Chains A and B, each alone.
Chain A
Amino acid sequence: MAGKSLPKVNSIDRRFWQGAAEGKLLLQKCQKCAHRQFFPRPVCTRCFSTDLDWTPASGRGEVHSFTLVRVPRNPAFSEEVPICYADIILEEGVLMQSRIMEKDMEKVKIGTRVTVTFQDTDNPEIKLPVFEVAN
């Protein structure tokens, strides 16, 4: 059986994944209009400039919505259900989807504060930006 899904790093998002491996959550920032965006794309989704750079996010945010996945699309995740998959609004005003690593699901509600943490994977060069309930 194939393992858990890993990103297929490409020329557009390589810097993002390098950042994650170094423990940094990076957003794209347009050098022309200052728009910040996630996920990484070849152009600014506001002004279409290709002059994009990377800016670190604080890694803090709050839960905007969440679901407890019982049937993951990739069966390799089945042993970990329920998986808390969430819309998280970062302090920078950007929505990002990720996983919340929390044993006690009662702690996760809309509005719950969360912070990023970087999870090891089978590939030593890849770490995943997941979230934990903030203290």
Chain B
Amino acid sequence: MRRKKVCLVGYGSTEYSRKSEKPLLGFYSEAINRALEQTGLEKKDIQGFALTTQASPDNSPYVAEQLGLELDWVLNADYGGAGGVMGLRRAADAIEAGHVDVAVLVGGNTFDRSVIHQRVLEYQRSNYVDVFGYGGPNSLFALVQRRHMEAYGTGLEQIGKIAVSQRMNASMNPQALLRKPMNLEDYINSRMISDPIRLFDCVMPCSGAECVVVTSEERAKKITDKLVYLVTDAEKVNYQVGNMLPDKTTTGMKIVGDRLFSEVKRDQIDLFEIYDDYPIAVMIQIEDLGYCTKGEGGKFVDSHDMGFKGDFPVNTGGGQLSVGQAGLAGGYLHIVEALRQLRGEAGPRQVAKAERALVTGIGWLAYGRNLTCTGGLVMERRA
């Protein structure tokens, strides 16, 4: 499906820190304030509000109450790392339907222990993973990575190149917490966490928040002359769920890619902000999106430069692997970086030709498969 009149008009990022004890709502407020400042919008203009949370008591109306927001539309985009992309889709729907003209989306994380956040992870299937001593997402992605390595001969050097390349991009991003240069040897020799997943395959949890503002085209024209349109977007939830012998190395992004690229051409994309909870997840998404065939992701990364100056720029700000994962801000980070690039505001890491960006989000690991949520979108700068 093609969007016609939905624009992304601004963003707000807080500074990131390793373990801040500032309240989560403080992070949200700061990110939103920065976005309001950038757009010249005021609190009263916020008609729609979405956040992504995995914890009670952060129900979206309660968070909005804390922030003093009276709204016409509210959403908890509880899609894990896909919350940014999938939440943005719903906000775009609400704007196209005329329910709201301006929506603000936010995600963030803190280490504030004064508020008891009860993680809502005790769904029934924990009976079949926790009891066997598994290591959380690191273990589930380890199963995927081993399968990919075994089935297609994918090498650690190939997977590691993604992490190394993102670290180089991060060296130009003051927001990134991990800017120290890293080479393939550092990657391969990093501590084993859940074989073959190593420390430098994993994101570093941190504190911070990201915010995105989305409006109608008409409103956008009053706000900015840097018009960035949402062109097309798609999602797939629970790909292969009924299949008891799923292909672990193929995700719902395959379906998402088919839909996105029925509207734009693959070679029209200038930069790729690909959700990176693990380097192997980036590689698999590149395959599923159809930039190479399944299993050829290793060869693809070998033959492309993923730096911000490269022929296939991936995660130009360093991604979560180098910026840090501020909890569920992770699903918004990639949208914000794409916006920065398309608006020409990425400073020393600016991609030279940045007219069209692809952003993906993936979230909530699935039992025996890989992901429950996969979403993607294309945004475009128009003069």
A6: nearest chain-B partner, CB-CB: B131
User: Size of chain A's interface in residues, with CB distance under 8 A?
Assistant: 45
- Indicate if A73 sits at the interface (CB-CB under 8 A): yes
* Interchain CA distance A90-B192 in the complex, whole Å: 29
Residues of chain B lying within 8 A (CB to CB) of residue A64: 147, 248
Whether A99 contacts B368 by the Cβ 8 Å rule is no
- Indicate if A10 sits at the interface (CB-CB under 8 A): yes
Residues of chain A lying within 8 A (CB to CB) of residue B130: 5, 73-74
Whether B135 contacts A66 by the Cβ 8 Å rule is no
Whether A71 contacts B194 by the Cβ 8 Å rule is yes
* Interchain CA distance A65-B136 in the complex, whole Å: 16
B150: nearest chain-A partner, CB-CB: A110
* Interchain CA distance A71-B248 in the complex, whole Å: 22
Q: Which of B213-221, B238-246, B291-299, B300-308 contacts A (4 or more CB under 8 A)?
A: B238-246
A10-B124, A13-B124 known; A67+B132 contact, CB < 8 A: no
Whether B132 contacts A83 by the Cβ 8 Å rule is yes
A105: nearest chain-B partner, CB-CB: B195
- Indicate if A98 sits at the interface (CB-CB under 8 A): yes
Interface string of A98-123 (1 = CB under 8 A from B): 11000000000010000000000000
A111: nearest chain-B partner, CB-CB: B150
Partner among A13, A85, A89, A93 whose Cβ is within 8 Å of the Cβ of B134: A85
* Interchain CA distance A82-B132 in the complex, whole Å: 12
Nearest-CB distance from A94 to chain B (Å)?
4
- Indicate if A32 sits at the interface (CB-CB under 8 A): no
* Interchain CA distance A86-B133 in the complex, whole Å: 11
- Indicate if A132 sits at the interface (CB-CB under 8 A): no
A10-B124, A97-B368 known; A69+B244 contact, CB < 8 A: no
User: Size of chain B's interface in residues, with CB distance under 8 A?
Assistant: 37
Partner among B122, B124, B134 whose Cβ is within 8 Å of the Cβ of A73: B134
A128: nearest chain-B partner, CB-CB: B131
* Interchain CA distance A94-B126 in the complex, whole Å: 18
Nearest-CB distance from A124 to chain B (Å)?
16
- Indicate if B55 sits at the interface (CB-CB under 8 A): no
Residues of chain A lying within 8 A (CB to CB) of residue B323: none
Q: Which of B64-72, B74-82, B138-146 contacts A (4 or more CB under 8 A)?
A: B138-146
* Interchain CA distance A65-B126 in the complex, whole Å: 19
Main secondary structure of the interface of B (DSSP, over half): mixed
Nearest-CB distance from A83 to chain B (Å)?
4
B147: nearest chain-A partner, CB-CB: A65
Residues of chain A lying within 8 A (CB to CB) of residue B126: 5, 8
Partner among A4, A10, A13, A45 whose Cβ is within 8 Å of the Cβ of B133: A4
Whether B241 contacts A45 by the Cβ 8 Å rule is yes
Nearest-CB distance from B243 to chain A (Å)?
9
* Interchain CA distance A130-B134 in the complex, whole Å: 13
A67: nearest chain-B partner, CB-CB: B142
Whether B195 contacts A70 by the Cβ 8 Å rule is yes
Residues of chain A lying within 8 A (CB to CB) of residue B135: 67, 69-73, 83, 85
Whether A85 contacts B244 by the Cβ 8 Å rule is no
Residues of chain B lying within 8 A (CB to CB) of residue A95: 244-246, 368
B132: nearest chain-A partner, CB-CB: A99
Which chain B residues (162-196) contact chain A, with CB distance < 8 Å? Answer: 191-196
- Indicate if B125 sits at the interface (CB-CB under 8 A): yes
Residues of chain B lying within 8 A (CB to CB) of residue A77: 133
Instruction: Give A contacts to B, CB under 8 Å.
Output: 4-10, 12-13, 35-39, 45-46, 64-74, 77, 80, 82-83, 85-87, 89, 93-99, 110, 128, 130
Known: A4-B131, A85-B133, A97-B132. 5 other contacts (CB 8 A): A8-B127, A71-B193, A93-B244, A97-B367, A128-B131
